[in-house]
């Protein structure tokens, strides 16, 4: 029997995974590259984007138009994985080990998944089609204590081109939960 206890609060962040989108078919179906494990994530914030636009008629709201254009936000972490920089951001690692960022490189889209602990169940989230801005570079001098730098990556999550899906969520105990971090992001099953 499934556990019907629901989270009252969420906290924690772990198991960040990224799937680079290596190609998109004419129908908008993405092809994913090798999954990237992202250790050291410290915070993720994704705010809903879109609008609600009322049409007034007969002295009231006659129709309410709603647009969902995805989410925008950021991911901060102890460091940005080298695999993400090369596979998504387009950095080149030369034969001497230097990471080169070229001004003409266009970053790839990607899917990203992560998990919150919560008080009752772990909750896993997935954004299907994302873009990222280049990470900032910065640090500060070490004083009487070490205060680690946490670079931030700004992320925009868009609807998928083939089916319009923006995000998915599963809780511990859901069938989808166990295959969340597979070789490709979770794909929608038939509707219940």
CA dist., res. 160 & res. 69, Å (int): 10
Torsion sign (Cα): 31, 33, 39, 40: negative
* Size of the chain, expressed as the number of residues it contains: 192
List Cα–Cα distances, 69 to 85, 97, 107, 129, 141, in angstroms: 26, 39, 20, 11, 41
Q: With a cut of 50, which residues of the chain have pLDDT below it?
A: 1
Helix segments in the chain, DSSP class H: 82-87
Q: What is the pLDDT of residue 2?
A: 54
Q: What is the pLDDT of residues 21-43, one digit of tens each?
A: 999 999 999 999 999 999 999 99
Report residue 46 as tokens. 């994704």
Measured at the CA of 190, the angle between CA 185 and CA 191, to 5 degrees, comes to 110
Torsion sign (Cα): 134, 19, 75, 87: negative
Q: What is the pLDDT of residue 141?
A: 80
CA dist., res. 21 & res. 90, Å (int): 12
What letter would DSSP give residue 83? Answer: H
Distance of CA 53 to the CA centre of its chain: 27
Q: What is the pLDDT of residue 1?
A: 45
């Amino acid at each position: 029997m499934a556990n019907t206890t629901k989270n009252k609060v969420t906290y924690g962040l772990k198991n960040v995974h990224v799937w680079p989108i290596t190609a998109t078919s004419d129908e908008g179906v993405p092809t994913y590259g090798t999954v990237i494990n992202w250790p050291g994530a410290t915070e993720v914030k994704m705010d809903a984007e879109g609008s609600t636009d009322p049409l007034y008629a007969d002295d009231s709201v006659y129709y309410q138009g709603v647009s969902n254009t995805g989410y925008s936000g950021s991911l901060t972490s102890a460091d940005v994985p080298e695999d993400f920089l090369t596979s998504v951001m387009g950095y080149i690692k030369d034969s001497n080990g230097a990471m080169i960022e070229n001004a003409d490189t266009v970053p790839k889209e990607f899917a990203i998944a992560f998990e919150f602990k919560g008080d009752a169940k772990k909750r896993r989230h997935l954004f299907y089609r994302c873009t990222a801005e280049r990470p900032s570079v910065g640090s500060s001098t070490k004083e009487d204590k070490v205060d680690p730098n946490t670079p931030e990556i700004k992320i925009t999550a868009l609807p998928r081109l083939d089916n319009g899906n923006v995000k998915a969520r599963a809780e511990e105990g859901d069938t989808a939960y166990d295959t969340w971090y597979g070789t490709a992001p979770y794909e929608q099953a038939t509707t219940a």
